Structure 1
Amino acid sequence: MEKITIALQNKGKKALDAIATLKMALDDMKSVDRIAQSAGECPKKIYKTFRDSLVQRFEYTFDLTWKYLGEYLKREGRKIEIETPKAIFRESLKTKHLSDDEVRLAIQMVDHRNLTTHGYDEQLIEYICEQISRYYTLLESILQRTAIHKYPK
């Protein structure tokens, strides 16, 4: 019985650590987004540096979020056969953690994340950066909805 209690405590700590890490990543992403929005008035080279930093923060925070959400859904007893970002977001629709509109935005976010990783087109990157504030709002909302549930201590 003691081993089970310790195992539950460790899982709860891991979940809380994941929430804390995700919260820090969201805060960093928002900070860089604010700076990048005002950096448009700076010389082009400085602006591109902030923009590229924003894209990296977006990729990192996105990855943390969908993986965290997948773990959260598994803890809730959901069986996820294919663990991909799109599958996780679609499962979140089934569980009512996300609305239809939010899942559509999340799927767009997945596509944009893949485009930033596997290709680089200046106009596309600019467009994606314009969307990041919307993505941030969704990512933050996911964390707020799921982090309120209590994990084993």
Structure 2
Amino acid sequence: MTTVYDFTVKKTNGSEQSLKELEGKPLLIVNTASKCGLNNQFKEIQEMYDNYKDQGLEILGFPCGQFNNQEFDNIEETTEFCQLNFGVTFPMFGKIDVNGENEDPLYRYLKSEKGGLLSKDIKWNFTKFLIDRNGHVVERYAPTTKPGKIEKDIMKQL
């Protein structure tokens, strides 16, 4: 049986990281976009990370420019923007596609485990997936779902 921990992702420097390194930790996986109108969620996501990282929560941000090209082309610009404007310290990874023929394998898996309202495709930036300590997708949240609204679900996984 496949879990999130079976995947390898690209870090911002281009090197690879196995998610197996996070085995046993609950995860919140988010496709992000710096120039999106929902980017104020970075602040709430960071607050959640600050509040729960010592209890094991890991938050993984995956920049994506598929929705109105709302992400910088240069990953250094993305990380700098997120750090300067929102104080982001949770791990951000390399820019990916979350839909289509070049979609990242991790996102193909996430979508197969929890489809959206009308289809499995990611509809917009800041779609969130909650992963339990065993690497299974617990829930998928819409882009407009504020991070504070999922805090109770996260606490159940801690």
- TM normalised by structure 2 equals 0.28
Please identify the structure whose Cα radius of gyration is greater. 1
| TM-score relative to the length of structure 1 | 0.28
More strand by share: 2
Does 1 or 2 have the higher relative contact order (CA < 8 Å, sep 6+)? 1
